[in-house]
Structure 1
Amino acid sequence: MNTTNRVLGDRAATTLRALSDDYDTLARLERGRPDTETLLARGRELREELLDRHASTIYHDITDGLTTSVRLAELLRVAAGRFPGLVPSAAALTREHARNRRDKLGIEVDQGILVAHLLADPVTGEHLMDAMTLPHPRATAALDRLRRTGSADLGPVRVDRAGRVGHVTLQNLQALNAEDAATTEALEIAVDVVLLDDEIDIGVLRGARMTHPRWAGRRVFGSGINLTRLHDGGIPLVEFFLERELGVVSKIQRGHPLGARGSTGPRREKPWIAAVDSFAIGGACQFLLVVDHVIAEADAYFSLPATREGIVPGCGGGRLARAIGEQRAKRVVFFGDRIPAATSDGRRLAGEVVAAEDMAERIDAAAAHLTLAGMQSVRANRRALRLATEPLATFRQVMSAYARDQAYCADDPALVTNLERVWPAARRPA
């Protein structure tokens, strides 16, 4: 008896064998054909029905009864091997990721469906969220470098310790700190280093001086998702969209779990300051909504143009609505409105708006101020605010919906049309 029969029973095993055969058939088809779309729709419907009954069982099997913590990408890899037909195999995903966005088969949607079901369940969802906020496997080596030398260069991100402050610098220079899976992983490791280093009390997130011709010599906080990679099919659902929200964004907001699990259990967390030079667009703006203090130069602006790009801005829409009001947030998300830092809405996002030449001084002053009452008080107050404004159960439910919705958005042909309208070939880097 194979694993599927043993764990899920004969009926589910029969369904998964049929879905595995469908994957083999899809590999020989092209997107847009009626038979391709029929197979995709049939598969998604069957997976939803199967996971309604068996999602928890599958997760318990992979995690040895919730005794093992597994990161999301690895969890899906194991699921593909242990329950063939449930989600695409590593080989199928390699082929899918090599396709242009317009030609993708859409099999990543099946991953989104599984993650949505796992997060919908309070037990498996909370266990998975805890697993994703544990230190990244590569964080230990980076922490060792920081402790030896006072800095750790991770490529698109670096960490430097100055006194009791950990400075995380975004330095994807030519791309104006645009984000993809590689930059997101590097940033998550950098955040882990700050959280793990006992000599650091506070983290500061800031962009480096750019080498991009138009912005050469100027600091830029971030330009959001790398639209060229999104258009060309190089932004994966799991390693970027889902692991970003469950990983680095959650670690800034909630830190690492310690000991007993649960929303009120102990966590290793530290306050964060974001220093915004020039602009914070899309994903960069999302970071401002989970840090503890934002300092922006007077000429900076914020935006979250998710609908223009055809995607969902993670949990950013709801968090932005709490900050500036629902109707104003809808203008930003649906219509691409910019929020200048020096306006009333901008000051709801930025606690301080200062002249560009005063940024460094104000960062140091804010970091010093946060330590005055003692870090125990700061941690307790940030936790109290978080529990009141975004309980863990709320975050889990939003992420469950997001996993499925973002998967379907990325699979929507309108995504490519949107991108080619707002990001024409002439503007894309070579």
Structure 2
Amino acid sequence: MNEFDNLLLDIDSTGILTITINRPDKLNALNGDTIEELRTAIQQVYDDPTIKGVILTGSGEKAFVAGADISELAQLTEVNGRKFSERGQEVFALFENCHKPTIAAVNGFALGGGCEIAMACHMRIATQNARFGQPEVNLGIIPGYGGTQRLTQLIGKGKAMELMMTGDMIGADEAKALGLVNHVVAGREELTAKCQELMQKITSKGPLAIGMVVDCVNGVFNPQVKGYQAEANAFGSCCRTADFKEGTAAFLEKRKPHFSGE
């Protein structure tokens, strides 16, 4: 594992990697260095077969990620602002398109870039004190790391418009009711337990099939992908795998499957 200045990485005995954004004095705000460290960390997930899934969280009790580093934002021009946005979109897409499950464990504030990277993960689990929002209009800008797209996908156009145009924050229960959050738990201890529970359930399934689910679901929002054909192609690909043969055999033999990822 690489050494990082702004991230803490910990992998458990089951292959679940926890990435903790560790800038508590800045409420874990995302500066350029942290974005690049996130790129390196998630790339390791793609490259290392021993890593089975990712839990992304923030250090401390106050914030998951409270947004971008405003001191950096204030220096942006039109040209480097576009590059700034494109770089963040590229890194967050690595979380969204990863064939291994990515879960955001949201404690405290998930604002701006924090809400955006949480939305890039496949699922979001939040504590009762979590707060979500895209308050960029308060700074005279808009979400630039995919927020205009993913928030609309997750909660619908009308409510997404409202939240992004007002800059309002919402609590964990409202976020769950809107479909932004999968589960709400009491506190940090329960947050870790719920994420681990979900991870263990997902990673017990056929890993190739999990990756194809990611591709097909994400394809719904890609105008270049013909969704039903992509699903049929992926289904056919599954049928030639050793995992498919093992899964069906295990069902018929009334035993648990042992998937190899092949």
- Find out whether 1:254 has 2:97 as its counterpart: yes
> 1:288–1:349: 8 Å Cα contact kept in structure 2?
no
Question: What does 1:218-237 align with in structure 2 at a 5 Å threshold?
Answer: 218=61, 220-232=63-75, 236-237=80-81
Pick aligned residue for 2:28 from 177, 192, 201:
177
Counterpart of 2:158 in structure 1: which amino acid? Q
- Find out whether 1:276 has 2:100 as its counterpart: no
Counterpart of 1:202 in structure 2: which amino acid? G
1:178–1:392 Cα change, 3 Å: farther
Kindly report the root-mean-square deviation, in angstroms, between the aligned alpha carbons of the 2 structures.
2.2
Question: What does 1:357-396 align with in structure 2 at a 5 Å threshold?
Answer: 357-391=189-223
Give the equivalent residue in structure 1 for 2:3. Answer: 153
- Find out whether 1:243 has 2:87 as its counterpart: yes
Superposed CA deviations along residues 108-139 of structure 1, whole A, max 9, x for unmatched, are xxxxxxxxxxxxxxxxxxxxxxxxxxxxxxxx
Structure with greater proportional helix content? 1
Q: Distance in 1 between matches of 2:46 and 2:224?
A: 20
Per-residue deviation, 1:241: 2.1
| TM value normalised by structure 1 | 0.49
Q: Which has the larger radius of gyration?
A: 1
Q: Distance in 1 between matches of 2:207 and 2:62?
A: 30
1:333–1:186 Cα change, 3 Å: same
Counterpart of 1:178 in structure 2: which amino acid? A
Deviation >6 Å, runs of 4+ = none
> 2:125–2:185: 8 Å Cα contact kept in structure 1?
yes
- Find out whether 1:333 has 2:193 as its counterpart: no
| TM value normalised by structure 2 | 0.78
> 1:160–1:168: 8 Å Cα contact kept in structure 2?
yes
> 1:273–1:294: 8 Å Cα contact kept in structure 2?
yes
Q: Distance in 1 between matches of 2:82 and 2:175?
A: 36
Q: Distance in 2 between matches of 1:381 and 1:245?
A: 21
SS state at 2:120 partner: coil
Counterpart of 1:361 in structure 2: which amino acid? A
1:391–1:382 Cα change, 3 Å: farther
Q: Distance in 1 between matches of 2:154 and 2:168?
A: 15
SS state at 1:322 partner: helix
SS state at 2:129 partner: coil
Counterpart of 2:164 in structure 1: which amino acid? V
SS state at 2:219 partner: helix
- The answer for unaligned runs of 5 or more in structure 2 is 226-262
Pick aligned residue for 1:292 from 94, 119, 122:
122
Aligned residue-pair number: 222
Superposed CA deviations along residues 47-94 of structure 1, whole A, max 9, x for unmatched, are xxxxxxxxxxxxxxxxxxxxxxxxxxxxxxxxxxxxxxxxxxxxxxxx
Q: Distance in 1 between matches of 2:175 and 2:38?
A: 30
> 1:339–1:346: 8 Å Cα contact kept in structure 2?
no
Pick aligned residue for 1:312 from 126, 137, 142:
142
Counterpart of 2:5 in structure 1: which amino acid? G
Give the equivalent residue in structure 1 for 2:181. Answer: 350
Structure with greater proportional strand content? 2
1:344–1:244 Cα change, 3 Å: closer
Give the equivalent residue in structure 2 for 1:5. Answer: none
Pick aligned residue for 2:43 from 169, 172, 192:
192
> 1:278–1:299: 8 Å Cα contact kept in structure 2?
yes
Counterpart of 2:67 in structure 1: which amino acid? G
SS state at 1:270 partner: coil
Identity over the aligned pairs, expressed in percent? 26
Per-residue deviation, 1:228: 2.5
Q: Distance in 2 between matches of 1:253 and 1:204?
A: 13
Per-residue deviation, 1:284: 0.9
Per-residue deviation, 1:292: 1.2
